[in-house]
Structure 1
Amino acid sequence: MYLSRIRLGDSPTASSELVRAMSKGVYGNHQLLWRLFTQAEQRNFLFRHEQSDGRLSPAGEPIFYVLSREEPNNSERLFQVESRPFTPQLMAGQRLEFKIRVNPTVCRQGKRHDVLMNAQQQWLNEELKRLSVAVSGPKKDLKHQLLDLANDTDVERWQTVIENGAYRDELATRLGRKATLELAIKTTSEQALMEWWQARCQKIGVKAPTDAEPLQIDAYLQHRIKGKQAGAVFSSIDLSGTLEVDDPELFLNNLHQGIGRAKAFGCGMMMIRRI
Protein backbone atom coordinates (compact mmCIF):
# COMPACT_ATOMS: atom_id res chain seq x y z
CA MET A 1 0.00 0.00 0.00
CA TYR A 2 1.01 3.62 -0.57
CA LEU A 3 0.10 6.71 1.39
CA SER A 4 0.23 9.89 -0.68
CA ARG A 5 -0.25 13.60 -0.21
CA ILE A 6 -1.49 15.12 -3.43
CA ARG A 7 -1.91 18.72 -4.52
CA LEU A 8 -2.91 20.17 -7.85
CA GLY A 9 -0.10 21.48 -10.00
CA ASP A 10 0.20 25.18 -10.80
CA SER A 11 -0.39 24.81 -14.54
CA PRO A 12 -3.45 26.27 -16.34
CA THR A 13 -4.48 22.71 -17.23
CA ALA A 14 -4.49 21.66 -13.58
CA SER A 15 -6.62 24.69 -12.66
CA SER A 16 -9.16 23.96 -15.37
CA GLU A 17 -9.37 20.30 -14.32
CA LEU A 18 -10.04 21.36 -10.74
CA VAL A 19 -12.86 23.66 -11.88
CA ARG A 20 -14.33 20.81 -13.93
CA ALA A 21 -14.15 18.46 -10.94
CA MET A 22 -15.84 20.97 -8.66
CA SER A 23 -18.70 21.36 -11.14
CA LYS A 24 -19.47 17.66 -10.73
CA GLY A 25 -20.07 17.92 -6.99
CA VAL A 26 -18.77 15.52 -4.36
CA TYR A 27 -17.97 12.76 -6.89
CA GLY A 28 -15.74 15.10 -8.92
CA ASN A 29 -12.78 14.68 -6.56
CA HIS A 30 -12.89 10.92 -7.00
CA GLN A 31 -12.91 11.22 -10.78
CA LEU A 32 -10.04 13.70 -10.66
CA LEU A 33 -7.86 11.44 -8.50
CA TRP A 34 -8.67 8.41 -10.61
CA ARG A 35 -6.45 9.97 -13.27
CA LEU A 36 -3.51 8.87 -11.12
CA PHE A 37 -4.61 5.23 -11.43
CA THR A 38 -5.54 4.93 -15.09
CA GLN A 39 -4.60 1.23 -15.29
CA ALA A 40 -6.99 0.23 -12.51
CA GLU A 41 -10.29 -1.24 -13.69
CA GLN A 42 -12.03 -0.52 -10.39
CA ARG A 43 -11.66 2.00 -7.60
CA ASN A 44 -8.73 0.77 -5.55
CA PHE A 45 -7.94 3.84 -3.49
CA LEU A 46 -9.31 5.75 -0.53
CA PHE A 47 -8.99 9.49 -0.17
CA ARG A 48 -9.57 12.36 2.20
CA HIS A 49 -10.07 15.92 1.01
CA GLU A 50 -8.79 18.80 3.12
CA GLN A 51 -8.20 22.47 2.45
CA SER A 52 -4.75 23.99 2.70
CA ASP A 53 -4.05 26.26 5.66
CA GLY A 54 -1.53 28.16 3.56
CA ARG A 55 1.63 26.33 4.58
CA LEU A 56 1.84 23.72 1.82
CA SER A 57 -0.09 25.62 -0.84
CA PRO A 58 -2.27 28.74 -1.06
CA ALA A 59 -4.92 28.82 1.66
CA GLY A 60 -8.15 27.15 0.64
CA GLU A 61 -6.71 25.04 -2.15
CA PRO A 62 -7.42 21.30 -1.97
CA ILE A 63 -5.04 18.77 -0.49
CA PHE A 64 -5.82 15.09 -0.90
CA TYR A 65 -4.53 12.24 1.23
CA VAL A 66 -4.75 8.97 -0.68
CA LEU A 67 -4.28 5.35 0.37
CA SER A 68 -3.80 3.05 -2.62
CA ARG A 69 -2.56 -0.39 -3.59
CA GLU A 70 -0.58 1.01 -6.50
CA GLU A 71 1.75 3.99 -6.44
CA PRO A 72 0.08 6.99 -8.11
CA ASN A 73 1.15 7.56 -11.71
CA ASN A 74 1.53 11.29 -12.30
CA SER A 75 2.46 11.01 -15.97
CA GLU A 76 0.00 13.79 -16.90
CA ARG A 77 1.80 16.16 -14.52
CA LEU A 78 -1.48 17.52 -13.24
CA PHE A 79 -0.52 17.00 -9.61
CA GLN A 80 2.24 17.37 -7.09
CA VAL A 81 2.52 13.93 -5.54
CA GLU A 82 4.42 12.81 -2.44
CA SER A 83 4.14 9.06 -1.84
CA ARG A 84 5.64 6.54 0.54
CA PRO A 85 4.97 2.87 1.28
CA PHE A 86 2.34 2.33 3.96
CA THR A 87 3.24 -0.80 5.93
CA PRO A 88 2.45 -0.12 9.61
CA GLN A 89 3.59 -2.79 12.05
CA LEU A 90 0.86 -3.01 14.66
CA MET A 91 0.53 -5.06 17.82
CA ALA A 92 -2.39 -5.94 20.06
CA GLY A 93 -2.65 -3.40 22.86
CA GLN A 94 -0.95 -0.66 20.86
CA ARG A 95 -2.51 2.78 21.20
CA LEU A 96 -2.92 5.14 18.27
CA GLU A 97 -4.30 8.57 17.51
CA PHE A 98 -6.71 8.58 14.60
CA LYS A 99 -8.93 10.75 12.49
CA ILE A 100 -11.50 9.67 9.95
CA ARG A 101 -14.35 11.09 7.89
CA VAL A 102 -17.32 8.75 7.94
CA ASN A 103 -20.82 8.43 6.54
CA PRO A 104 -22.75 7.01 9.53
CA THR A 105 -25.98 5.29 8.51
CA VAL A 106 -28.55 2.97 10.04
CA CYS A 107 -30.95 0.67 8.19
CA ARG A 108 -34.61 1.25 9.01
CA GLN A 109 -37.47 -0.37 7.11
CA GLY A 110 -35.09 -1.44 4.37
CA LYS A 111 -33.70 2.05 3.78
CA ARG A 112 -30.49 3.77 4.85
CA HIS A 113 -30.81 6.77 7.14
CA ASP A 114 -28.35 9.24 8.59
CA VAL A 115 -27.59 8.12 12.16
CA LEU A 116 -27.78 11.62 13.64
CA MET A 117 -30.93 12.69 11.80
CA ASN A 118 -32.60 9.37 12.58
CA ALA A 119 -31.86 9.76 16.29
CA GLN A 120 -33.20 13.32 16.32
CA GLN A 121 -36.39 12.32 14.53
CA GLN A 122 -37.02 9.41 16.88
CA TRP A 123 -36.44 11.52 19.98
CA LEU A 124 -38.78 14.26 18.77
CA ASN A 125 -41.43 11.69 17.93
CA GLU A 126 -41.20 10.16 21.40
CA GLU A 127 -41.42 13.54 23.10
CA LEU A 128 -44.51 14.49 21.14
CA LYS A 129 -46.14 11.15 21.89
CA ARG A 130 -45.64 11.88 25.60
CA LEU A 131 -47.77 14.96 25.02
CA SER A 132 -50.37 12.98 23.05
CA VAL A 133 -49.61 15.00 19.92
CA ALA A 134 -49.94 13.48 16.46
CA VAL A 135 -46.51 13.35 14.85
CA SER A 136 -46.35 14.90 11.39
CA GLY A 137 -44.46 17.52 9.44
CA PRO A 138 -40.80 18.53 9.12
CA LYS A 139 -38.42 18.61 12.07
CA LYS A 140 -38.68 22.37 12.60
CA ASP A 141 -42.46 22.07 13.00
CA LEU A 142 -42.07 19.27 15.54
CA LYS A 143 -39.72 21.44 17.58
CA HIS A 144 -42.18 24.34 17.49
CA GLN A 145 -44.93 22.06 18.77
CA LEU A 146 -42.75 20.86 21.62
CA LEU A 147 -41.82 24.38 22.65
CA ASP A 148 -45.48 25.43 22.58
CA LEU A 149 -46.85 22.47 24.55
CA ALA A 150 -44.09 21.32 26.93
CA ASN A 151 -44.43 22.11 30.63
CA ASP A 152 -41.74 22.53 33.28
CA THR A 153 -41.60 18.77 33.90
CA ASP A 154 -40.87 18.17 30.23
CA VAL A 155 -38.09 20.77 30.25
CA GLU A 156 -36.57 19.10 33.32
CA ARG A 157 -36.55 15.82 31.40
CA TRP A 158 -34.65 17.52 28.57
CA GLN A 159 -32.16 18.81 31.12
CA THR A 160 -31.61 15.25 32.35
CA VAL A 161 -30.73 14.22 28.80
CA ILE A 162 -28.13 17.01 28.68
CA GLU A 163 -26.72 16.05 32.10
CA ASN A 164 -25.79 12.63 30.70
CA GLY A 165 -23.93 14.02 27.69
CA ALA A 166 -21.03 16.15 26.57
CA TYR A 167 -22.83 19.47 27.11
CA ARG A 168 -23.64 19.04 30.80
CA ASP A 169 -21.47 22.03 31.77
CA GLU A 170 -23.74 24.33 29.80
CA LEU A 171 -26.51 23.68 32.31
CA ALA A 172 -24.58 25.93 34.71
CA THR A 173 -25.85 28.85 32.64
CA ARG A 174 -29.51 29.84 32.64
CA LEU A 175 -30.65 28.16 29.44
CA GLY A 176 -33.98 29.11 27.94
CA ARG A 177 -36.49 26.52 26.77
CA LYS A 178 -35.36 26.70 23.14
CA ALA A 179 -31.66 26.36 23.99
CA THR A 180 -32.45 23.44 26.32
CA LEU A 181 -34.40 21.67 23.57
CA GLU A 182 -31.63 22.19 21.00
CA LEU A 183 -28.96 20.86 23.37
CA ALA A 184 -31.09 17.84 24.25
CA ILE A 185 -31.52 17.05 20.55
CA LYS A 186 -27.79 17.52 19.90
CA THR A 187 -26.89 15.32 22.87
CA THR A 188 -29.25 12.58 21.70
CA SER A 189 -27.87 12.55 18.16
CA GLU A 190 -24.23 12.52 19.28
CA GLN A 191 -24.92 9.68 21.70
CA ALA A 192 -26.40 7.73 18.79
CA LEU A 193 -23.25 8.47 16.79
CA MET A 194 -21.10 7.23 19.68
CA GLU A 195 -23.05 3.97 19.79
CA TRP A 196 -22.64 3.59 16.03
CA TRP A 197 -18.87 4.13 16.32
CA GLN A 198 -18.53 1.73 19.25
CA ALA A 199 -20.30 -0.97 17.23
CA ARG A 200 -18.05 -0.20 14.26
CA CYS A 201 -14.91 -0.47 16.43
CA GLN A 202 -15.84 -4.00 17.44
CA LYS A 203 -16.04 -4.98 13.76
CA ILE A 204 -12.71 -3.48 12.66
CA GLY A 205 -10.43 -4.92 15.32
CA VAL A 206 -10.06 -2.07 17.83
CA LYS A 207 -11.43 -1.50 21.30
CA ALA A 208 -14.28 0.94 21.65
CA PRO A 209 -13.48 4.28 23.30
CA THR A 210 -14.20 4.81 26.97
CA ASP A 211 -15.69 7.83 28.74
CA ALA A 212 -12.14 8.79 29.73
CA GLU A 213 -11.18 8.97 26.04
CA PRO A 214 -13.80 11.21 24.48
CA LEU A 215 -14.48 11.03 20.78
CA GLN A 216 -14.02 14.38 19.05
CA ILE A 217 -16.90 15.13 16.68
CA ASP A 218 -16.57 17.86 14.05
CA ALA A 219 -17.68 19.14 10.67
CA TYR A 220 -21.07 17.50 10.20
CA LEU A 221 -22.19 18.19 6.61
CA GLN A 222 -24.91 17.06 4.26
CA HIS A 223 -23.87 16.87 0.60
CA ARG A 224 -26.09 16.89 -2.45
CA ILE A 225 -25.22 14.27 -5.05
CA LYS A 226 -25.36 15.63 -8.58
CA GLY A 227 -26.73 13.34 -11.25
CA LYS A 228 -28.85 11.37 -8.79
CA GLN A 229 -32.57 11.66 -8.12
CA ALA A 230 -33.80 14.98 -6.77
CA GLY A 231 -32.99 15.41 -3.11
CA ALA A 232 -30.30 12.70 -3.03
CA VAL A 233 -27.85 13.52 -0.24
CA PHE A 234 -25.32 11.86 1.99
CA SER A 235 -23.83 13.06 5.25
CA SER A 236 -20.27 13.13 6.48
CA ILE A 237 -18.74 13.84 9.85
CA ASP A 238 -15.16 13.94 11.12
CA LEU A 239 -14.20 11.79 14.11
CA SER A 240 -10.88 11.86 15.92
CA GLY A 241 -9.43 10.56 19.16
CA THR A 242 -7.47 7.56 20.36
CA LEU A 243 -7.96 3.84 19.94
CA GLU A 244 -6.38 0.60 21.09
CA VAL A 245 -5.57 -2.14 18.60
CA ASP A 246 -7.24 -5.42 19.51
CA ASP A 247 -6.82 -7.55 16.37
CA PRO A 248 -3.93 -6.15 14.26
CA GLU A 249 -4.63 -8.24 11.16
CA LEU A 250 -8.34 -7.39 11.09
CA PHE A 251 -7.63 -3.73 11.74
CA LEU A 252 -5.06 -3.47 8.93
CA ASN A 253 -7.45 -5.17 6.54
CA ASN A 254 -10.11 -2.59 7.37
CA LEU A 255 -7.62 0.26 7.00
CA HIS A 256 -6.85 -0.95 3.49
CA GLN A 257 -10.49 -1.47 2.50
CA GLY A 258 -11.88 1.64 4.16
CA ILE A 259 -14.36 1.94 6.98
CA GLY A 260 -18.05 2.50 6.43
CA ARG A 261 -19.86 3.77 3.37
CA ALA A 262 -19.51 6.56 0.77
CA LYS A 263 -15.84 5.83 0.02
CA ALA A 264 -16.17 7.26 -3.50
CA PHE A 265 -17.21 10.54 -1.85
CA GLY A 266 -14.11 10.81 0.35
CA CYS A 267 -15.24 8.87 3.42
CA GLY A 268 -13.73 5.82 5.09
CA MET A 269 -9.99 6.60 5.08
CA MET A 270 -8.59 6.41 8.60
CA MET A 271 -5.34 8.23 9.29
CA ILE A 272 -3.37 6.89 12.25
CA ARG A 273 -0.34 7.96 14.28
CA ARG A 274 1.51 6.27 17.12
CA ILE A 275 1.11 7.87 20.52
Structure 2
Amino acid sequence: MYLSRVRVATEGLDSQSLQRLMEGNAYGNHQLLWRLFPEAEERPFLFRQELEKETPVDGTPRGMPLFYVLSRLAPTAVPGLLNCESKEFTPQLEVGQKLAFKLRANPVVARKEEGRRRSRRHDVLMDAKKAAREEGVEDSLTIRERMETAAREWLGDPERSERHGYRLPVAPQTTGYRQHAYRRKGGEIRFSSIDFEGQLEVVEPERFRQTLEEGIGRSRAFGCGMWMVRRLET
Protein backbone atom coordinates (compact mmCIF):
# COMPACT_ATOMS: atom_id res chain seq x y z
CA MET A 1 0.00 0.00 0.00
CA TYR A 2 0.96 3.62 -0.49
CA LEU A 3 0.01 6.58 1.67
CA SER A 4 0.08 9.91 -0.13
CA ARG A 5 -0.50 13.55 0.66
CA VAL A 6 -1.98 15.27 -2.36
CA ARG A 7 -2.33 18.99 -3.01
CA VAL A 8 -4.15 20.58 -5.90
CA ALA A 9 -2.65 23.32 -8.07
CA THR A 10 -5.86 25.30 -8.36
CA GLU A 11 -4.67 27.21 -11.40
CA GLY A 12 -4.95 23.92 -13.28
CA LEU A 13 -8.73 23.73 -12.70
CA ASP A 14 -11.58 25.30 -14.62
CA SER A 15 -14.01 27.46 -12.63
CA GLN A 16 -16.58 24.68 -12.19
CA SER A 17 -13.99 22.17 -10.96
CA LEU A 18 -12.50 24.77 -8.62
CA GLN A 19 -15.92 25.45 -7.12
CA ARG A 20 -16.51 21.73 -6.53
CA LEU A 21 -13.09 21.45 -4.91
CA MET A 22 -13.68 24.35 -2.53
CA GLU A 23 -17.14 23.07 -1.62
CA GLY A 24 -15.73 19.65 -0.72
CA ASN A 25 -17.72 17.96 -3.47
CA ALA A 26 -16.87 14.31 -2.82
CA TYR A 27 -18.03 13.09 -6.22
CA GLY A 28 -16.00 15.70 -8.12
CA ASN A 29 -12.94 15.15 -5.93
CA HIS A 30 -13.19 11.40 -6.44
CA GLN A 31 -13.04 11.99 -10.19
CA LEU A 32 -10.12 14.39 -9.76
CA LEU A 33 -8.05 11.92 -7.71
CA TRP A 34 -8.66 9.16 -10.28
CA ARG A 35 -6.18 11.08 -12.45
CA LEU A 36 -3.40 9.89 -10.12
CA PHE A 37 -3.95 6.34 -11.41
CA PRO A 38 -4.16 6.55 -15.22
CA GLU A 39 -3.62 2.81 -15.74
CA ALA A 40 -6.19 1.59 -13.19
CA GLU A 41 -9.43 0.04 -14.44
CA GLU A 42 -10.99 -0.23 -10.98
CA ARG A 43 -10.71 2.31 -8.17
CA PRO A 44 -7.49 1.41 -6.31
CA PHE A 45 -7.70 4.04 -3.56
CA LEU A 46 -9.44 5.51 -0.54
CA PHE A 47 -9.19 9.18 0.32
CA ARG A 48 -9.87 11.68 3.04
CA GLN A 49 -10.20 15.42 2.49
CA GLU A 50 -8.93 17.94 5.02
CA LEU A 51 -7.75 21.56 4.95
CA GLU A 52 -4.21 22.89 5.04
CA LYS A 53 -3.48 24.08 8.58
CA GLU A 54 0.03 25.31 7.85
CA THR A 55 1.56 26.91 4.77
CA PRO A 56 3.52 24.17 2.93
CA VAL A 57 6.94 24.72 1.41
CA ASP A 58 5.40 25.03 -2.06
CA GLY A 59 3.55 28.16 -0.97
CA THR A 60 0.04 26.70 -0.99
CA PRO A 61 -2.03 28.92 1.32
CA ARG A 62 -3.59 27.65 4.53
CA GLY A 63 -7.24 26.69 4.27
CA MET A 64 -6.86 25.01 0.87
CA PRO A 65 -8.06 21.42 0.36
CA LEU A 66 -5.57 18.67 1.18
CA PHE A 67 -6.11 15.00 0.42
CA TYR A 68 -4.75 11.89 2.09
CA VAL A 69 -4.87 8.94 -0.29
CA LEU A 70 -4.32 5.27 0.57
CA SER A 71 -3.81 3.14 -2.52
CA ARG A 72 -2.79 -0.29 -3.71
CA LEU A 73 -0.94 1.31 -6.63
CA ALA A 74 1.70 4.02 -6.50
CA PRO A 75 0.10 7.30 -7.62
CA THR A 76 1.53 9.40 -10.44
CA ALA A 77 1.54 13.16 -9.94
CA VAL A 78 -0.23 15.24 -12.60
CA PRO A 79 2.05 18.19 -13.47
CA GLY A 80 0.30 21.50 -13.07
CA LEU A 81 -2.66 19.93 -11.27
CA LEU A 82 -1.93 17.32 -8.59
CA ASN A 83 1.21 17.39 -6.44
CA CYS A 84 1.82 14.15 -4.62
CA GLU A 85 4.10 13.09 -1.74
CA SER A 86 3.99 9.30 -1.33
CA LYS A 87 5.55 6.61 0.83
CA GLU A 88 5.02 2.90 1.19
CA PHE A 89 2.58 2.04 3.96
CA THR A 90 3.32 -1.34 5.55
CA PRO A 91 1.89 -1.25 9.09
CA GLN A 92 3.38 -3.74 11.52
CA LEU A 93 0.37 -4.88 13.51
CA GLU A 94 0.26 -7.08 16.60
CA VAL A 95 -2.48 -8.54 18.75
CA GLY A 96 -3.32 -6.12 21.55
CA GLN A 97 -1.61 -3.17 19.88
CA LYS A 98 -3.18 0.21 20.68
CA LEU A 99 -3.60 2.76 17.90
CA ALA A 100 -4.97 6.27 17.78
CA PHE A 101 -7.31 6.76 14.84
CA LYS A 102 -9.33 9.21 12.81
CA LEU A 103 -12.08 7.99 10.54
CA ARG A 104 -14.72 9.62 8.36
CA ALA A 105 -17.46 7.10 7.77
CA ASN A 106 -20.97 6.67 6.40
CA PRO A 107 -22.85 4.61 9.01
CA VAL A 108 -25.96 2.88 7.68
CA VAL A 109 -28.37 0.28 9.01
CA ALA A 110 -30.52 -2.10 6.94
CA ARG A 111 -34.22 -2.30 7.80
CA LYS A 112 -36.85 -4.72 6.48
CA GLU A 113 -39.85 -2.87 5.07
CA GLU A 114 -43.26 -4.24 4.31
CA GLY A 115 -43.82 -4.77 0.61
CA ARG A 116 -40.11 -4.75 -0.26
CA ARG A 117 -38.11 -7.87 -1.04
CA ARG A 118 -34.84 -6.30 -0.02
CA SER A 119 -33.91 -4.45 3.12
CA ARG A 120 -33.59 -0.70 2.78
CA ARG A 121 -30.53 1.14 4.06
CA HIS A 122 -30.98 4.06 6.41
CA ASP A 123 -28.60 6.66 7.78
CA VAL A 124 -27.86 5.47 11.34
CA LEU A 125 -28.08 8.98 12.79
CA MET A 126 -31.34 9.86 11.02
CA ASP A 127 -32.72 6.47 12.06
CA ALA A 128 -31.94 7.30 15.70
CA LYS A 129 -33.48 10.75 15.31
CA LYS A 130 -36.68 9.29 13.88
CA ALA A 131 -36.87 6.72 16.71
CA ALA A 132 -36.44 9.47 19.33
CA ARG A 133 -39.19 11.56 17.76
CA GLU A 134 -41.50 8.55 17.66
CA GLU A 135 -40.87 8.12 21.40
CA GLY A 136 -41.98 11.69 21.94
CA VAL A 137 -38.51 13.15 22.56
CA GLU A 138 -38.44 16.80 21.45
CA ASP A 139 -35.38 18.23 23.23
CA SER A 140 -32.83 18.95 20.50
CA LEU A 141 -29.82 18.21 22.74
CA THR A 142 -31.23 14.82 23.75
CA ILE A 143 -31.94 13.97 20.13
CA ARG A 144 -28.41 14.96 19.15
CA GLU A 145 -26.98 12.75 21.90
CA ARG A 146 -29.11 9.84 20.66
CA MET A 147 -27.81 10.35 17.13
CA GLU A 148 -24.15 10.46 18.17
CA THR A 149 -24.58 7.46 20.46
CA ALA A 150 -26.03 5.51 17.54
CA ALA A 151 -22.99 6.41 15.42
CA ARG A 152 -20.57 5.28 18.14
CA GLU A 153 -22.50 2.03 18.61
CA TRP A 154 -22.32 1.41 14.87
CA LEU A 155 -18.51 1.64 14.86
CA GLY A 156 -18.13 -0.29 18.10
CA ASP A 157 -20.67 -3.00 17.27
CA PRO A 158 -19.09 -6.29 18.42
CA GLU A 159 -19.97 -8.17 15.24
CA ARG A 160 -18.66 -5.42 12.98
CA SER A 161 -15.48 -4.81 14.95
CA GLU A 162 -14.72 -8.54 15.18
CA ARG A 163 -15.22 -8.92 11.43
CA HIS A 164 -12.75 -6.10 10.82
CA GLY A 165 -10.17 -7.14 13.41
CA TYR A 166 -10.38 -4.35 16.00
CA ARG A 167 -11.95 -3.45 19.32
CA LEU A 168 -12.80 -0.05 20.78
CA PRO A 169 -11.70 0.07 24.42
CA VAL A 170 -13.42 3.45 24.90
CA ALA A 171 -16.14 5.24 22.96
CA PRO A 172 -14.70 7.55 20.29
CA GLN A 173 -15.49 11.23 19.87
CA THR A 174 -17.87 12.18 17.06
CA THR A 175 -17.93 15.46 15.13
CA GLY A 176 -18.71 16.91 11.72
CA TYR A 177 -21.96 15.15 10.83
CA ARG A 178 -22.88 16.13 7.28
CA GLN A 179 -25.38 15.13 4.61
CA HIS A 180 -24.21 15.11 0.99
CA ALA A 181 -26.22 15.29 -2.24
CA TYR A 182 -24.68 15.46 -5.72
CA ARG A 183 -26.28 15.30 -9.14
CA ARG A 184 -24.68 13.30 -11.91
CA LYS A 185 -25.72 11.71 -15.16
CA GLY A 186 -28.14 8.91 -14.41
CA GLY A 187 -29.30 10.10 -11.02
CA GLU A 188 -28.35 11.62 -7.71
CA ILE A 189 -25.83 10.57 -5.07
CA ARG A 190 -26.95 10.95 -1.46
CA PHE A 191 -25.07 9.90 1.66
CA SER A 192 -24.04 11.19 5.06
CA SER A 193 -20.72 11.23 6.89
CA ILE A 194 -19.48 11.70 10.43
CA ASP A 195 -15.95 11.96 11.83
CA PHE A 196 -14.73 9.60 14.57
CA GLU A 197 -11.57 10.07 16.62
CA GLY A 198 -10.30 7.84 19.39
CA GLN A 199 -8.33 4.73 20.22
CA LEU A 200 -8.63 1.15 19.04
CA GLU A 201 -7.05 -2.17 19.90
CA VAL A 202 -5.91 -4.58 17.20
CA VAL A 203 -7.56 -7.95 17.80
CA GLU A 204 -6.74 -9.77 14.56
CA PRO A 205 -3.81 -8.20 12.69
CA GLU A 206 -4.50 -9.67 9.24
CA ARG A 207 -8.15 -8.72 9.32
CA PHE A 208 -7.38 -5.20 10.44
CA ARG A 209 -4.66 -4.82 7.80
CA GLN A 210 -7.29 -5.76 5.22
CA THR A 211 -9.67 -3.25 6.83
CA LEU A 212 -7.07 -0.52 6.44
CA GLU A 213 -6.65 -1.38 2.76
CA GLU A 214 -10.34 -1.73 1.93
CA GLY A 215 -11.86 0.81 4.33
CA ILE A 216 -15.04 0.43 6.35
CA GLY A 217 -18.67 1.27 5.74
CA ARG A 218 -20.27 2.61 2.58
CA SER A 219 -19.50 5.55 0.25
CA ARG A 220 -15.81 4.68 0.18
CA ALA A 221 -15.53 6.12 -3.32
CA PHE A 222 -16.58 9.49 -1.93
CA GLY A 223 -14.12 10.17 0.87
CA CYS A 224 -15.49 7.82 3.55
CA GLY A 225 -14.05 4.71 5.16
CA MET A 226 -10.32 5.55 5.25
CA TRP A 227 -8.63 4.99 8.62
CA MET A 228 -5.86 7.37 9.67
CA VAL A 229 -3.89 5.51 12.35
CA ARG A 230 -0.76 6.05 14.42
CA ARG A 231 0.96 4.20 17.21
CA LEU A 232 0.27 5.32 20.74
CA GLU A 233 3.28 6.16 22.87
CA THR A 234 3.78 3.58 25.61
Structures share a fold, TM > 0.5? yes
Task: Indicate if the aligned counterparts of 2:2 and 2:87 stay in contact, CA closer than 8 A.
Answer: yes
1:107 alignment partner, one of 86, 105, 110: 110
Give the whole-Å Cα distance in 1 for the aligned partners of 2:221 and 2:12: 24
The aligned counterpart of 1:84 is 87
- CA RMSD of the aligned region, Å? 2.1
Give TM-score, length-normalised by structure 1.
0.74
Runs of 5+ consecutive residues of structure 1 not aligned to the other structure: 129-142, 144-180
Give the whole-Å Cα distance in 2 for the aligned partners of 1:17 and 1:40: 25
Deviation at 1:25, TM superposition (A): 3.5
The aligned counterpart of 1:183 is 141
The aligned counterpart of 1:240 is 197
The aligned counterpart of 2:115 is none
Runs of 5+ consecutive residues of structure 2 not aligned to the other structure: 113-118
| CA pair 17-123 structure 1, distance change in 2 beyond 3 A | closer
Deviation at 1:59, TM superposition (A): 2.1
Query: Which protein is richer in strand relative to its size?
Result: 2
Task: Indicate if the aligned counterparts of 1:99 and 1:241 stay in contact, CA closer than 8 A.
Answer: yes
Task: Indicate if the aligned counterparts of 1:222 and 1:236 stay in contact, CA closer than 8 A.
Answer: yes
Give the whole-Å Cα distance in 1 for the aligned partners of 2:229 and 2:25: 28
> Larger C-alpha radius of gyration, 1 or 2?
1
What does 1:65-144 align with in structure 2 at a 5 Å threshold? 65-109=68-112, 110-127=119-136, 143=138
Matched, 1:258 2:215: yes
Give the whole-Å Cα distance in 1 for the aligned partners of 2:12 and 2:198: 39
Give the whole-Å Cα distance in 2 for the aligned partners of 1:251 and 1:37: 25
Matched, 1:203 2:212: no
What does 1:155-194 align with in structure 2 at a 5 Å threshold? 181-194=139-152
Matched, 1:214 2:174: no
Deviation at 1:26, TM superposition (A): 2.3
> What SS is found at the alignment partner of 2:41?
coil
Give the whole-Å Cα distance in 1 for the aligned partners of 2:25 and 2:141: 32
Letter of the 2:27 partner, please give it.
Answer: Y
Deviation at 1:71, TM superposition (A): 0.9
> What SS is found at the alignment partner of 1:222?
strand
| CA pair 71-21 structure 1, distance change in 2 beyond 3 A | farther
Give the whole-Å Cα distance in 2 for the aligned partners of 1:14 and 1:127: 49
Give the whole-Å Cα distance in 2 for the aligned partners of 1:24 and 1:252: 28
Letter of the 2:42 partner, please give it.
Answer: Q
> What SS is found at the alignment partner of 1:183?
helix
Give the whole-Å Cα distance in 1 for the aligned partners of 2:24 and 2:156: 34
Give TM-score, length-normalised by structure 2.
0.86
Give the whole-Å Cα distance in 1 for the aligned partners of 2:122 and 2:213: 25
Total equivalences in the alignment: 219
> What SS is found at the alignment partner of 1:225?
strand
> What SS is found at the alignment partner of 1:36?
coil
Deviation at 1:229, TM superposition (A): 4.2
Identity of aligned residues (%): 46
Task: Indicate if the aligned counterparts of 2:110 and 2:120 stay in contact, CA closer than 8 A.
Answer: yes
The aligned counterpart of 2:206 is 249
> What SS is found at the alignment partner of 1:219?
strand
Deviation at 1:20, TM superposition (A): 6.7
Deviation at 1:121, TM superposition (A): 0.3
Deviation at 1:6, TM superposition (A): 0.5
Runs of 4 or more consecutive aligned structure 1 residues displaced over 3 Å after TM superposition: 14-18, 20-25
Task: Indicate if the aligned counterparts of 1:207 and 1:246 stay in contact, CA closer than 8 A.
Answer: yes
| CA pair 68-17 structure 1, distance change in 2 beyond 3 A | farther
Deviation at 1:55, TM superposition (A): 2.7
| CA pair 41-84 structure 1, distance change in 2 beyond 3 A | same
Task: Indicate if the aligned counterparts of 1:8 and 1:15 stay in contact, CA closer than 8 A.
Answer: no
Task: Indicate if the aligned counterparts of 2:4 and 2:84 stay in contact, CA closer than 8 A.
Answer: yes
After TM superposition, the structure 1 stretch with the greater mean CA deviation from structure 2, 200-209 or 93-102, is 200-209
